[in-house]
A and B are shown apart, each in its own frame.
Chain A
Amino acid sequence: MITRFRQIEMRLMGPLTMIPIVLLLVILGTIAALPVVATILSELVADFVPPPLQHLTIVALGTAGFVGILALNPIYSIWLERKVAAHVQDRLGPMRVGWHGLLQSFADGVKLMFKEDLVPRDADRVLFGAAPMLAVASAFAAFAIVPWGVREDGTVLAVANLNIGVLYFIAITSLGALSVLMAGWGSNNKYALYGGMRAAAQMVSYEIPTAILVLVVVAQVGSLSIPDIVNAQAGGILGVGDWLIFQLFPLNLIAFVLFFICGLAETNRTPFDIPEAESELVAGFHTEYSGMRFAFFFLAEYGNMLLVSMLAALLFLGGWIGPFGSNPLLFFVKGFGLVVVQMWLRWTLPRLRVDQLMGICWKYVIPISFFLLVVTTVIKGLL
């Protein structure tokens, strides 16, 4: 009987397994061919859509594709995280559902969707409901300014090519702290409250060095627009040499490391995961959440991880510029590479205590980043 069941399962799972693989290939292919796709799309739109609506249609299509990729991001990221964790810990990780467990996250997603949506009796229903939405919204909205590449005619592939892109990034990510605070307060649970307060303190503190480190880059390039910052890194040896991280050695290298640390702190990842410290606060600010609302926090967390990694790749690692010319896929690989580093750190390091975390921020990271800002500006001025 069990064998029979297993056979049926195998027959069903075989073709189903192909879905995530095909999806992944489609996503990667689309990203690699993004400039071409964009050209074809805009030509198609020019042919079939009346002129007044053309701009709107292109933006809508771009946004839809983008949100689709972002919604699929956690599914692959969670799979990746579990695989990274498993191999760090000398085990296999998910292996049963699909090829090497690729369908596991889809199954979990379906499970979460069908789970009962519990709201504690004494919770503040408005805040409780709004918090996960705000979390996802802030994580996704920040992606609007992330450029994926340039077309040959110079058009930037981004949902919104703002000339003050980095400011927008700093502004939008601050909203994440608000959502966590809302979740912590609205749950009417002491552990959630502790998580919320910790998260608010942590995120607000680490926003300062993040902003200063972004300014370090801005001061060197002389532009607030992210495409300009990336384009300034083009050229050099193998297309690598002029990446900002290699300029003014080692100042920018330090800036990159600090920026990455701040990114970890802002996304609440180990060793800075004190707002959801499992062993202390049960689950921190999302203790009382279940089902889809819980999944939304996950969506936001993995979105934020990718966002921070992509920003670091754009500001310091040359974005889509690399030894093989400029390609959106290269940018994607850099972003996910940094995501893997985040995961690797998470499964290796213990957690800091809240006062130590604040101490690191105010005693070391902020002074050093101010120092970097001053020194790079002075050097740039002298050159």
Chain B
Amino acid sequence: MSAASIIERLAAHLGLEEGSFESDVEAKDPWVRVPGDKLVAAAEFLKADPELDFDTLHCVSGVDWPGDDPPAIEVVYHLTSLSRKHWIVLKTRVPRAGGSLPTLETVWKAANWHEREAYDLFGVRFEGHSDHRRILLPADWPGHPLLRDWEWPETWHKIPVKPGRQMTERAEGGQMTGVGPFD
């Protein structure tokens, strides 16, 4: 099924008016953005509908947009249907400060670890998550490092953790780091 008809079907089910939600079928990966309160309904429909049959949650990524108005973290769900061989990207926005999303663990169990990772690295809270702990970083690590304005701590339990000048300063000065095919 084409991306346009997937999005149309989803919007019809959720009762979203044409133009009241953002979507892009022309993009490299067609996506649709749903509000946070309709996320679970959208996910359940995408999985349960026999025509759509999105049986697999491929990936959950966070993207931090501190410059937007209002500042938000975008959570991106990449969905795959193994039986129908089609793909769609589901996006939703959560306010940067104190926002939370419902967990999709109840729909696809794969969401469990992905959401833990998003919480660990972006600080996005997932309501109703069964095991809401950090996953990659130590439990008392300061902050959520993939936020754009995250500051390196100097030390962590007296262990110096801040990287040396080379990398950060060169990057801040707009200088390339000198790795890769073209220096």
A–B contact with Cβ pairs below 8 Å: the answer is: no
